[in-house]
Amino acid sequence: MEEFNLHLTSDIHAASIANNLLAAAIDARIMHEDVLEDADLSELGLRRLNIDKYSVTWRRVVDVNDRALRNILTGLGARTDGRPMQTGFDIAIASETMAILSMSESLKDMRNRLGRIMIGMDKSGRPVTAEDIGVAGAMAVLLKDAIKPNLMQTCEGQPAFVHTGPFANIAHGNSSILADRMALKLGDYVVTEAGFGADIGLEKFFDIKCRASGLKPDCVVLVATIRALKMHGGGPAVVAGKALPKAYMDEDLRLLDEGVGNLRRNIEIARLFGAPVVVAINRFSHDTEVELEFVKLAALAAGAEYSVVATHWSQGSAGAAELAEAVTKACLKPYDMKLLYPLELSLKDKISAVAKKVYGAERVIYELPAERQVAKYEQIGLGQLPVCIAKTQFSLSHDSKLKGVPKGYELPVREVRISAGAGFICPLAGEIRTMPGLGRRPAFMDVDLDGDGQVVGMF
């Protein structure tokens, strides 16, 4: 798995450097234009961009969970140390450059997308792009190897592509179109992952990635666990480092009954897109037969084509044989892929479509900055983009405390970002952050090299 990490890292590394080069170039341009006369600029072959500092939305990224970088002031110090700006860092995978790697169909397409990145506005309110800054070419050069999918293998030796890794709670949550296309040329069946639940990764898989690539999956596999469903049913919190509460160790059909609604809702969401659904119940050692059977039947009742128990965690691929059979059968079923919204809708209507049909919200509320951003994007002609909503993965709603199947609530949108190059807009719902923080006792504290130079404490 080491190879795996190395390559994953280089994706992220190239995207980070490209992202941060653009950020440095924007700030440098603002500082230089502040000092240079028009004549100086034209001698350098540059035209004045007149960037409106307050409109710059491009942020820096770093590949570490560093909450102290969420909100920062840069450019302090002397006249030659930049210009003071209120900005912040995101985690590298949330970078639009990573999304571009993921969405590109070719090197040329990637180059064009990089050029279309919108970093803010000029003082007349016109968009300023990475192309205007003159850095899109250099970014393309930095990313030209990273666009190539890497062939890895699983512990059992099956081939696997691991290419681009945006999380579905803060990004679009799918691996690259190029890796999928390559896999489709090479194999009979291609399994690709969409992050978290049907409300997040799957919705974006269809409405963003399938819409862009024109590809259509033959079926959807939803993975469920008894433990998670009990939590959605109101079970006690599971705290790292503390003993697992009794509710998760013993059979508890009542809790399961409360929680299974969440699985039912996930199936309904998947069904919105038309695809046949296979539910895979990922078995934990404490799960009882009765519990497993109960969930299996509930899934079928909710519209799943097949519902099977999988034990690959303990038994490897043998434990997934039944699942594989169910999938091959499900793939034979023809269906018409439906998307949740046509691109012609207004941005607000598109956001509303996802919020209501998928998240179960009654209404979307926009804070003042979000209101202005949406209006701006419509005004400059980016209203036709699909929407990629960032929200917590711990609930179908924006509020991690609302378990089960929340209904009738208001979804607050506090900010709306633009990824003009990747090709979507990103509303941030609730308190979701695009830079995670380190916990009270981060896992890395257990990691070390032993006397022989071997890694210990990783698992």
Segment interacting with a copy of itself (CB under 8 A) among 22-30, 311-319, 345-353, 373-381:
22-30
Residue 445 is given by DSSP the state G
User: Least distance from C-beta 455 to a copy of itself, angstroms?
Assistant: 5
Which residues 202-261 are close enough to bind a copy of itself by CB under 8 A? Answer: 241
4 binds a copy of itself (CB under 8 A): no
Q: At what angle do helices 2-35 and 136-143 cross, to 10 degrees?
A: 170
| Contact present, 118 and 128 (Cβ < 8 Å) | yes
- Quick one: which segment of 175-183, 228-236, 267-275, 364-372 binds a copy of itself (CB under 8 A)? 364-372
Give the Cβ contact number of residue 42 at 10 Å.
12
Give me the amino acid identity at 189: Y
The smaller minimum CB distance to a copy of itself, of residues 86 and 153, is found at: 86
81 belongs to the binding site for a copy of itself (CB under 8 A): yes
Report if residue 79 touches a copy of itself, rule: CB under 8 A: yes
Q: Quick one: which of 38, 40, 250, 362 contacts a copy of itself (CB under 8 A)?
A: 40
Determine the 3-state secondary structure of 228 from DSSP: helix
Round to whole Å and give the CA distance between 381 and 377. Answer: 6
Q: What angle do CA 22, 27, 31 make, to 5 degrees?
A: 145
* Contact pick of 135, 170, 411, 418 for a copy of itself (by CB under 8 A): 135
- Gap between the Cα atoms of 279 and 327, Å rounded: 9
Minimum CB separation of residue 45 from a copy of itself in Å reads: 7
Q: Per CB under 8 A, does 113 bind a copy of itself?
A: no
Of positions 4, 8, 82, 394, contacts a copy of itself by CB under 8 A: 82
Phi/psi at 365 (nearest 5 deg)? -110, 135
Q: What share of the chain is helix, strand, coil (3-state, %, to 5)?
A: 40, 15, 40
> Does 453 help bind a copy of itself (rule: CB under 8 A)?
yes
Beta strands in 174-240 (DSSP E): 220-224
The whole-angstrom separation of Cα 176 and Cα 179 is 5
One of 1, 3, 108, 325 touching a copy of itself (CB under 8 A): 108
Kindly indicate which of the ranges 72-80, 254-262, 293-301, 417-425 contains the residues binding a copy of itself, using the contact rule CB under 8 A. 72-80
111 counts as binding a copy of itself under rule CB under 8 A: yes
Interface residue with a copy of itself, options 8, 57, 66, 324 (CB under 8 A): 66
Interface with a copy of itself by CB under 8 A: which range of 151-159, 285-293, 305-313, 448-456?
448-456
Contact of 171 with 99, CB cutoff 8 Å? yes
Query: Distance (Å, rounded) from C-alpha 324 to C-alpha 385?
Result: 36
- 23 vs 382, beta carbon nearer a copy of itself: 23
Nearest to 279 by CA among 334, 354, 219, 231: 219
97 binds a copy of itself (CB under 8 A): no
* 52 lines the binding site for a copy of itself (CB under 8 A): yes
Q: Which is nearer to a copy of itself, 31 or 353 (CB)?
A: 31
Contact pattern for a copy of itself over residues 319 through 358, marking x by CB under 8 A: ----------------------------------------
End-to-end CA distance of the chain: 13
> Judged by CB under 8 A, does residue 38 bind a copy of itself?
no
| Number of neighbours of residue 237 by Cβ within 10 angstroms | 7
In the complex, least distance from residue 32 CB atom to a copy of itself, rounded to whole angstroms: 5
Question: 419 and 99 in contact (C-beta within 8 Å)?
Answer: yes
Nearer to a copy of itself, 132 or 287 (CB): 132
Nearer to a copy of itself, 290 or 458 (CB): 458
Which CB atom, from 44 or from 186, has the smaller least distance to a copy of itself? 44
Quote the CA–CA distance of 255 and 287 in Å, as a whole number.
Answer: 13
The string of DSSP codes covering 418-439 is EETTTTEEEEEETT--SS----
Among 48, 70, 264, 376, binds a copy of itself (CB under 8 A): 70
Minimum CB–partner distance for residue 68 and a copy of itself (Å): 3
The residue from 4, 8, 48, 83 that contacts a copy of itself (CB under 8 A) is: 83
Q: Report the distance separating Cα 127 and Cα 116, nearest Å.
A: 10
Q: Which is nearer to a copy of itself, 318 or 447 (CB)?
A: 447
Q: Residues 195, 173: contact at Cβ < 8 Å?
A: yes
